[in-house]
Amino acid sequence: MVGVAKLVVMDPKGRLVSGGSSAKTGIMQKSIKESTKMLATLVRRAKSQPPITLTCNLLHISQLISTHPLHHNFSTTTRAPPPSAAAKMEAVGVLMMCPMNNYLEQELDKRFKLFRYWTQPKQREFLAQHAEAIRAVVGNATAGASAEVIDALPKLEIVSSFSVGLDKIDLIKCKEKGIRVTNTPDVLTEDVADLAIGLMLAVLRRICECDKYVRSGAWKFGDFKLTTKFSGKRVGIIGLGRIGLAIAKRAEAFDCPISYYSRSEKPNTNYKYYGNLIELASNCDILVVACALTPETTHIVNREVIDALGPKGVLINIGRGPHVDEPELVSALVEGRLGGAGLDVFEKEPEVPEQLFGLDNVVLLPHVGSGTIETRKAMADLVLGNLEAHFANKPLLTPVV
Amino acid sequence: MAAAADEIQPSETPPLLLVHRLPRFKLSFFPFLQTEYTVLDPLADPPDPSFPDLSKSARIMLCVGPTPVGSDELDRYPAVECVVGSSAGLNHIDLAACRRRGVRVTSAGDAFSDDVADYAVGLAIDVLRRVSAADRFVRAGSWPVQKEYLLGSKVSGKRVGIVGLGSIGSRVAKRFEAFGCTIAYNSRSIKSHVTYTYYANVVDLASNTDILIVCCALTNETYHVINKDVMTALGKTGIIVNVGRGALIDENELVEFLVRGEIGGAGLDVFEHEPNVPKELLTLDSVVLSPHKAVFTPESFAALEKVVLGNIQAFFSNKPLLTEI
């Protein structure tokens, strides 16, 4: 067989090794005949050298090698060249629902045929026009794949969410239609937990208010307003999943007793379980929302729970805005029936109830739970990895459906 | 019985307690003192006529806040044998002068340590995750307009470097460990009971650190310990948190580094010339500023009262002092 063998020779540390007088970098293109000759040389050498691995991109050569009497120091692997995968994927239409990350957008643009939903003035017509081409949707916490969008895209095969929350995706419809769904778990767990603790400290110790006070130039001695100690406060967590557990681990280092409410008690934890959210709220100082948003958990923090938490209690929400009955929360804070709140999410982002702006016992953040350079890149890579795996018929990295 | 009242001996009047304070520090922190002791306060209003005489016999002085105690003060109150401090930091007390005169000194001990450690962590998270800046962004109504806020920097897993691994520093370390951070420190001497990496000098510590926490005592040796070299070693992505004393950092250099973006940010509870804060910092989003409030919780003050009262009681009963330094 005529062909050119591309031989990559590496030492045990993965460094390229030159295998012949003409090779400088260890990557050689040789005719079959020359390859065989070179192989013989390498095999001889291997007797006196540390193990050498030869990766060959032509199956034929690999088979040839395997029949050659090899020294035990010489091993081979076959790596098939990538199929012209790049060319194939560029034809795949991917619909991105809203701006979420520049790097992700650029990479999607490079690898696929990218449609940007938010740039379209007439979205229904736009979908109809490109329905045949769109095989994937990339969404996030703001916009995902609703029933309408799914119905409008008959060729849709996969929804890859730039989030761990799935509340913006009609999962039932996806299951019915055999549409795959992926999200970004684990990579953002630490960031969200870090922010939950940061919010607790910011609210209890009035850090944002202190900063505002100094910036206003108002600092003179005599301001002895006391704040509230964080260490040792009782922390109650709604939802003891990945994020809930990470929050618990951090709060424990501050000697905070941990308790939780969940659909069912978790084995293997020492934390106190409450089967009733009102009871949990009555027995903690800081209540954190860390569960998934579903129809069952919508408005799970309602007036009763807020009352149970009480005028010295603090609510931290790093879940989803709709977990909390927002008008009830606002009136409780304004009337002093709730001690304070740290909120990263709201019912109608980016709108935030203006009555909160004048309160010094709240901290308000624009949904930045996973908002670090490191984590957003990891999330983007997961979205890209899942899409590429799907279109290469490989197992998905983080499938949900 | 009326007779019993006549039999009260003068020596049973409550012991003399001299209070040494700056006008802005109120005695309301120590209301219990008035019931147990004869409190001598030079700033009493109206002035106490017995003060000039009695103060010469007072054996114990309560130093409230950072009121300086040096040779002059010790000369003024020659009978003082013990100074009871009310803060963790004692840089306002001339410890050498006290030692020379055999005057014992007590501090707040661990009373504030949890709160200060909590505050240090809170400031670090705020700087890296832009909590205060993002809160300003939302309150200004900018979220609907600008849609996305700037990305911050991850806290978990970062390298934490602690300058001073004492009561506060060790608590800071314990907290950051739960965030998966690696801990290293510089201290006057290696602490054999910890497994954290020790660096003999602060520049080396800073070179290997992302989050530098300053929580050591201010002494002649540690004045401006965080200088230009340290900040250069810390670099553009590093941040500093200071919950010690302002003078631990060369403040002019710090401002330069922050304004030029040559360090990533800073969380500061203390400044060289409180309450003055360098104007350039007031408009930077990379800093979080606090008016020396790391200890201001009711819990810390309750703990402080206990320590102060405990030390005074121990002194008068000739028992070992609780937090003698």
> Is B224 assigned a catalytic role?
no
Contact A99, A118 (CB under 8 A): yes
Element (H, E) at A288: strand A286-289
Contact at 8 Å (CB) between A87 and A392?
no
Judged on CB neighbours under 10 Å (0-12, 13-18, 19+), A73 is middle
* Cβ-Cβ contacts under 8 Å, B138 against chain A: 352, 364-366
> Tokens 């510590």 — which residue?
B205
Q: A189-369: what CATH class? A: alpha beta
> How much is the pLDDT for A25?
37
Q: Does A105 touch chain B (CB under 8 A)?
A: no
Task: Spell out, as residue ranges, where chain B has pLDDT lower than 70.
Answer: 1-11, 27-29
Distance of CA B6 to the CA centre of its chain: 48
Contacts of B196 (CB under 8 A, 6+ apart): B162, B165, B173, B183, B184, B185
Mean pLDDT of A75-81: 45
Q: Give CA–CA dist A57/B176, Å, rounded.
A: 48
Identify the structural domains of chain B with CATH numbers, from first to last: 2-111+298-316 (3.40.50.720), 113-289 (3.40.50.720)
* Beta pairing, strands A27-31 & A4-10: antiparallel
Considering only the C-alpha atoms of chain A, give the largest distance between any 2 of them, rounded to a whole number of Å: 91
- Return the pLDDT at A33: 58
Judge whether residue A381 has pLDDT over 90.
yes
- Contact call for residues A337 and A309 (beta carbons, < 8 A): no
pLDDT of residue A81: 41
> Could you tell me if A201 lies within 8 Å of chain B, comparing CB atoms?
yes
Q: How far apart are CA A46 and CA B73, in angstroms?
A: 84
As given in the structure block, the two tokens for residue A11 are: 């030492």
Q: A375 pLDDT exceeds 60?
A: yes
Q: Identify the burial level of B10 via C-beta atoms within 10 angstroms of its C-beta, where 0-12 means exposed, 13-18 middle and 19 or more buried.
A: exposed
Which residue of A219, A220, A345, A352 is the best one to mutate when testing the B interface, meaning the one whose CB has the most B CBs within 10 A?
A219
The reported pLDDT for the residue numbered A83 is: 46
CA distance A296 to chain B (A): 29
Average pLDDT, chain A: 86
Which residues 71-100 of chain A have a CB within 8 Å of chain B?
A: 99
Mean pLDDT for the stretch of residues A23-32? 47
**Measured between CB atoms, which of B118, B154, B178 is closest to A231?**
B118
A153 in contact with B at a CB cutoff of 8 Å? no
Identify whether B193 is a catalytic site residue: no
Residue pLDDT, tens place only, A43-54: 566 555 444 555
Instruction: Give the model's pLDDT for residue B1.
Output: 47
**Rounded distance, CA A91 to CA A134, Å?**
10
- pLDDT level of residue A4 (50, 70, 90 thresholds): very low
Segment A241-250 mean pLDDT: 98
Instruction: Classify burial at B118, counting beta carbons within 10 Å of its beta carbon; exposed 0-12, middle 13-18, buried 19 or more.
Output: buried
β-pair partners for A363: A342
Q: Round to whole Å and give the CA distance between A160 and A147.
A: 15
Predicted confidence (pLDDT) at residue A78 exceeds the cutoff of 50 = no
Q: Note the Cα B52 to chain centre separation in Å.
A: 32
Distance of CA A339 to the CA centre of its chain: 32
How does residue A22 score in pLDDT terms, banded at 50, 70 and 90? very low
Radius of gyration of chain B (CA): 23
B156 neighbors B180 (Cβ within 8 angstroms): yes
pLDDT tens digits for range A215-237 = 999 998 767 688 999 999 999 99
In this prediction, residue B32 carries a pLDDT of 78
Cβ-Cβ contacts under 8 Å, A231 against chain B: 114-115, 117-118
A16-30, A168-182, B8-22, B281-295: which has the minimum mean pLDDT? A16-30
Would you call the peptide bond into A185 cis, given omega within 30 degrees of 0 as the criterion? no
**What are the DSSP calls for A349-388, one per residue?**
TT---GGGTT-SSEEE--S-TT-BHHHHHHHHHHHHHHHH
Q: What is the mean pLDDT of residues A371-386?
A: 97
pLDDT in tens, A92-150: 999 999 999 999 999 999 999 999 999 999 999 999 999 999 999 999 999 999 999 99
Residue of B nearest to A354 (CA): B139
DSSP secondary structure letters along A82-144? PPSHHHHHTT-EEEE-S---HHHHHHHHHHSEEEEGGG-SSHHHHHHHHTTTEEEEEE-SS--
Q: Is the ipTM of this complex over 0.90?
A: yes
Alpha-carbon distance A106 to nearest alpha carbon in chain B (angstroms): 17
Amino acid A57 reads: N
- The CATH number of A85-186+375-391 is 3.40.50.720
Q: What are the domain boundaries of chain A?
A: 1-72, 85-186+375-391, 189-369
Q: Kindly tell me if the per-residue pLDDT of A267 is higher than 60.
A: yes
Contacting residues of A for B266, CB less than 8 Å apart: none
A224 shares contact with chain B (CB less than 8 Å)? yes
The DSSP-derived string for A19-62 is: -STT-SSSEEEEEHHHHHHHHHHHHHHHTTSS-EEEEES-HHHH
pLDDT given at position B28 = 66
Judging contacts by C-beta atoms under 8 Å, the chain B residues touching residue A221 are 24, 274-275
The better pLDDT of the pair A323, A60 is held by A323
Across the A/B interface, how many CB contacts are shorter than 8 Å?
A: 177
pLDDT at A398: 97
DSSP character at residue A267: T
Give Cα A231 distance to the centre of its chain: 30
